[in-house]
Chains A and B, each alone.
Chain A
Amino acid sequence: MDEVLIKAEHVSKKFCRSLKRSLWYGAQDVTRSLLPWTRQVDAEISADPDADYPFPALRTDEFWALKDISFEVRRGECLGLIGHNGAGKSTLLKILNRLIRPDTGRITIRGRVGALIELSAGFNPILSGRENIYNRATLFGFSKSEIDRKFDAIVDFAEIEDFLDMPVQNYSSGMQVKLGFAVSAQMEPDILIVDEVLAVGDVGFRFKCLNAMADLMNRSAVIFVSHSMPQVFRVATQVTVLNRGRVIISSTDVGKGVDHYLSEFNISSNIVAGSGQATLGSFHMESQNATANKGEMLRVAHGGAVTFHVGFQVDPGIPRIRIQIVVWNMEMLPVMDIMDADRRGYAVDVPNSGGVKVSARVDHIFLNGGKYILSAIAIAEDQSRIYCRDDRVGNLFVEATAASWAHTLVPAVWNLDN
C-alpha cells in the first residue's frame, strides 16, 4: 500500500517569547484572519536570500518554532519524530491535529485523524467513569450507537469494571490514563498521531497499550514522538530529527537518525560532579581491535572484552580512594557498574604525587546493542563521599542486533533436559 496519507511541505510556525507581545500579535492575527481580503503569507515576505520558500518576516521577540519541515508518510509507515525538549515536536503534532495553523507551507491529510496525545482531555472529575467514557468518545467523534457497541471493549480494556460508577476524581492517576487510552484506542484512524504517552500505568497495561498501538499502526500512517530510542527503533520506518525547529536529519535509516540524535545528546551532558578533591587525569580504553581516548566512542562486539585505563589526580591528605566505572544507557539509567571482586570500587593507595592510575578488564560486555555513556568515579575509601564523577570520559557502542528490550543479552549454554 503506497497511498500517501500525510504530506507536509515547507511547514513553519513562529512563536513569541514575550506574553504581552504574544497576546498583541494574537489580537492582530485574529483581526487579520477575520478580514476576508487578507492573506497572511503574502504580507511581509522576508528577503532572506537563503530561503527558497517565501517566509514571512519575524516580528520582535518571535522565533521559528518550526521552519521548513517537509515529509511524507504512507499507510503502514511510521515516522519517528525525535528531538530534545523544545525542538518543535509538539508544535508539529498540534498543527497536524489541526489545533493551530502553520505560518507557511501546507499539509495534506487524507482520512480520519486519531491522536493519542492527551489522555485525560475532556474528563470531568465529578462525573462517573461511565459518563466520562461517553463524553470523551463523543468528543472524538463517535456516534452514540458506536459508543454503545464499543462500551464493553473500552471498560474491559481499561480494567475499571468495578469503578464504573465512581467519580473519576476518585480514580488513581494511573486509572485515569488507562481510561483515556482505552477510549482513544477505539478510534479507527487512517492517520495516527502518537505522543509519548505509553510510559503509563503498570507493566501489564503498558504491554496492552503497545499491542493495541501496533494494531492501530498497521492500518494507518503514523507519526510517533518519543524520547525512548528502543521504542523508536521498534516502530519507526523513518525518522526525522528536529533541533530548534529545523530538520537536522531525515532518513529511512532509523539507526542513522537515532545515532545522530544521540550524538547531539552527548554534547549537552558534559557533567563533572563531586567534591572536587579528585579530578580525572587520563582515560583510555581498548577492545579487541579498537581503542578510544577520553571523550571518544569505543565500538565493541557483543560479548567482547574491554580494558579501561583510568587516572585520577587526588588532593593531598587523602591516603586511599576507590575507583569505579558506571555505564549509563541513553535514558540515563545506570545499567552496569564496574567494580572489584567485593562489589565495591577498586581501592588503591594514593602516592605522594597524588596521581593514581588503574586499569580494569571486563572479559565480556553483555550489554544489549546500542550506545552507552561512561562515567569514571572516585570515592572515599569508606564510600562516604564522592570526590569526582566525570560523565564525559567516553562512550561505548555495543554491536548487537536482537529483538530484545533488555539491558543485557546473555548467551547461555542451553541443553535439553529430558
Chain B
Amino acid sequence: MVQSNPVPDDADRPRSTTELPEVVITPHAGLEGFTEAMRSMTRDFAQSRALAWRLFRRDISAMYRQSLLGYLWLFLPPLATVSVWIFLNQQQLVTIDTGDVPYPLFVMTGTVLWTAFNSALMAMQEIMGQARSMLSKVNFPHEALIMTAFAKALLNGLPPILLLIPVMIFYGVSIGPETLLFAFGFLTVVILGSALGLAFVPIGALYDDVGRAIQLGLRFAFFVTPVIYAMPQAPGLTRTLLTLNPLTAPLVSSRAWLIGSAEALPSATLLVFVVSLLVLALSTLAFKVAMPHLIERISA
C-alpha cells in the first residue's frame, strides 16, 4: 500500500528537552492567571495576528458569498437610516436645528459614526456565539477573535464614510487639517464600542440576558446620543444626560472636525480615547483569563 509520508525530514531530528517550551496547567490561580495570560499573548502574537487575519478574511468572504447584492450591504443600512431622518426633517414631522450645517450632511455624519459604534459593539458581542464550536474544540490564541472582531468593526464602519464624500463635495465642505482629527475621533468611537462590547462578553457568554439588555440599551442610547440632533446649548436634563454619555464627546467632536458643525470637545475626546483603550486592554485580558471557565460551561 502506498503511503504518503506527511512529515518532512527535519522532524526526525531529535529535539532535546531543554529546547522545548514548558507549560504548566494548574487551577486558576489569582494574579498568576493574569501574568500567564500576558506572557502567552506576547508569545503567541505572531500566530494570533496571522489567525485573526485569516478569520477576518474567512468571515468577510463567507459573509457575502450567499448574497446577490454582496458588498452593497455594507452601504445600505446607513443609507436607510439617513433617508428616514432626512424625510422626517423635510416633512417637518421632526424639526431639528443644526445651525449652519445642512441637515442631510449633519445626520449622515452622525449616522456614520453611530453605525461604527454600533457595529464595533455588536462585533464583540457576537464573538462567543460565532466561535462557540471552535472554542470548545480547538486550543488557539483567543485574542485572535478580538482582533478579528475589531477588524470587522472597522470594515463595517468605513464604507459609509465613502458615502459621505460625494455629499461633502455637494455641499462644498472644505477639507483641512481637521479632517485628520476626524480619523482620530472615528477610531475613538470604534474603540469605545469595542471596549463596551467586550467588557460584557464573559458574563454574556453565560447568560443570554446580557445580550438582550444590550440590544435594548442600544435602542435607548441612540436617542441619548446627539446622532440625529445637535447638542443643546441650554443646560437641562438632556444636556446632563448627553454629557454623561461617553459616546457624546467623540461623536460631536468627530462631526465638528469633519463638517464644522459645532464646537469640538478635544480634551473630553482624548479622555474617552485613553479610558476606552485601557478598558479594551483589560477586557481582553479578562476575556483570556475567563475563557477556560466559559468553555467549561458552554460546552458542558
Task: Give chain A's interface residues, CB within 8 Å of chain B.
Answer: 1, 3, 5, 15-16, 22-23, 25-27, 29-30, 32-41, 94-113, 115, 117-118, 121-122, 124, 126-127, 131, 134-135, 138-141, 143-144, 149-150, 153-154, 156-157, 182, 185-186, 188, 190, 204, 207-208, 211-212, 215-216, 219
Within B26-77, the residues touching A (CB, 8 Å) are: 26-31, 33-34, 46-47, 50-51, 54-55, 58, 61-62, 65-66
Question: Could you list some 13 contacts between A and B, CB below 8 A?
Answer: A5-B20, A26-B294, A30-B290, A34-B289, A41-B29, A110-B22, A111-B21, A117-B137, A121-B138, A127-B62, A138-B54, A143-B46, A208-B4
**Would you give the shortest CB distance from A84 to chain B, in whole angstroms?**
19
Cα distance, A34 to B55, chains bound together (Å): 27
Assess A186 versus B6: contact at CB under 8 Å? Given A38-B30, A41-B27, A98-B25: yes
Classify the interface of chain A: helix, strand, loop or mixed: mixed
Residues of B within 8 A of A (CB): 1, 3-8, 11-12, 14-17, 20-31, 33-34, 46-47, 50-51, 54-55, 58, 61-62, 65-66, 133-140, 202-203, 206-207, 286, 289-290, 292-297, 299-300
- Contact pick for A135, options B3, B58, B207, B294, CB 8 Å: B58
User: What is the chain B residue whose CB lies nearest that of A154?
Assistant: B6
For residue B200, give the distance in angstroms from its CB to the closest CB of chain A. 12
The reply to whether A99 and B31 contact each other, CB–CB distance below 8 Å, is no
Chain A residues in 8 Å Cβ range of B138: 115, 118, 121-122, 139-140
* Residues from chain A with Cβ under 8 Å of B27 in the complex: 40-41, 101-105
Complex Cα–Cα for A144 and B57 (A)? 14
A127 in contact with B50 given A33-B28, A190-B20 (CB within 8 Å): no
Interface residue from B22, B47, B293 paired with A30 (Cβ < 8 Å): B293
Minimal beta-carbon separation of A133 from chain B (angstroms): 11
Q: Choose among A16, A37, A98, A117 the residue that contacts B31 (Cβ–Cβ < 8 A).
A: A37
B31 lies within 8 A of A36 (CB): yes
Contact of B6 with A153 in the complex, beta carbons under 8 Å: yes
Alpha-carbon distance between A191 and B6 when the two chains are bound, in angstroms? 17
**CB contact under 8 A between A97 and B139, given known A39-B30, A139-B134:** yes
Question: In the complex where A108-B22, A207-B1 touch, is A30 in contact with B30 (Cβ < 8 A)?
Answer: no
Given contacts A30-B206, A138-B50, contact A109 B61 (CB under 8 A): no
Determine if B5 and A215 form an interchain contact, defined as CB atoms under 8 angstroms apart: yes
- Cα separation A25 to B206 with both chains bound (whole Å): 10
- Using CB atoms, name the residue of chain A closest to B22: A110
Q: In the complex, which of the residues A35, A102, A150 contacts B25, with contact meaning CB atoms closer than 8 Å?
A: A102
Q: How many A-B residue pairs have CB under 8 A?
A: 186
From B1, B5, B61, contact of A131 by CB (8 A): B61
Among candidates B7, B51, B202, residue contacting A216 with C-beta atoms closer than 8 Å: B7
Across the interface, which residues of B come within 8 angstroms of A23, CB to CB?
206-207, 297
Nearest chain B CB to A396 CB, angstrom units: 33
Whole-angstrom distance from the CB of A118 to the nearest CB of chain B? 4
Q: A118-B137, A118-B138, A188-B7 are in contact. Are A126 and B24 (CB under 8 A)?
A: no
Q: Which residues of A contact B22 (CB under 8 A)?
A: 108-110
- Specify which chain B residues have a CB less than 8 angstroms from the CB of A103 in the assembled complex: 27
Q: Which of B7, B28, B133 contacts A29 (CB 8 A)?
A: B28
Q: What separation, in Å, do the CA atoms of A3 and B22 have in the docked complex?
A: 12
The complex places the Cα of A91 from the Cα of B202 at a distance, in Å, of 22
Q: Are A135 and B55 in contact (CB under 8 A)?
A: yes
CB pair B26–A185 under 8 Å, yes or no, is no
CB pair B58 A211 closer than 8 Å: no
- Distance A117 CA – B299 CA, assembled complex (angstroms): 15
- Let me know if A139 and B51 touch, CB within 8 A: yes
CB distance from A263 to the nearest CB of B (A): 31
CB distance from B73 to the nearest CB of A (A): 16
Q: B31 contacts which chain A residues (CB < 8 A)?
A: 36-37
Interface-central residue, A25, A36, A41, A190, by most chain B CB under 10 Å: A36
State the 3 A-B residue pairs at the shortest beta-carbon distance, nearest first. A26-B297, A118-B137, A121-B137
Given contacts A23-B206, A37-B31, A111-B20, contact A100 B58 (CB under 8 A): no
Chain A residues contacting B136 (CB-CB under 8 Å) are 99
Q: Which residues of A sit under 8 angstroms from B26, Cβ to Cβ?
A: 101-102, 105-106
Cα distance A258–B106 when bound, in Å? Answer: 76
Which residue on chain B has the smallest CB distance to residue A110? B20
Q: Which B residues are CB-close (under 8 A) to A204?
A: 1
Nearest-neighbor residue (CB-CB) of A27 within chain B: B206
Let me know if A26 and B54 touch, CB within 8 A.
Answer: no
Tell me, rounded to whole Å, the shortest Cβ–Cβ distance linking A170 to chain B: 13
Q: Which residues of B contact A98 (CB under 8 A)?
A: 23, 25, 139, 292
Residue of B nearest to A126 (CB): B62
Set of chain A residues within 8 Å of B139, measured between Cβ atoms: 97-99, 113, 115
Extra 12 A-B pairs, beta carbons < 8 Å, given A182-B6, A215-B5: A30-B293, A36-B30, A107-B25, A109-B23, A111-B20, A117-B137, A124-B62, A126-B62, A126-B65, A127-B62, A135-B54, A141-B140
Contact of A121 among B5, B54, B134, B297 (CB under 8 A): B134
Within the complex, what minimum Cβ distance (angstroms) separates B194 from chain A?
19
Task: Select one of A5, A37, A215 contacting B7, CB under 8 A.
Answer: A215
A360 to B248, CA, bound (A): 91
Residues on the A chain within 8 Å of B299, using CB = 99
> A106 to B24, alpha carbons, bound, how many Å?
7
Determine which of B33, B47, B133, B286 lies in contact with A141 in the assembled complex, contact meaning CB atoms within 8 Å. B47
Q: Could you say which residues of chain A place their CB within 8 Å of the CB of B65? A: 126-127
A190 to B14, CA, bound (A): 10
Residue of A nearest to B1 (CB): A207
Answer whether A33 and B290 are a contact pair too, CB < 8 Å, given A40-B29, A106-B24.
yes
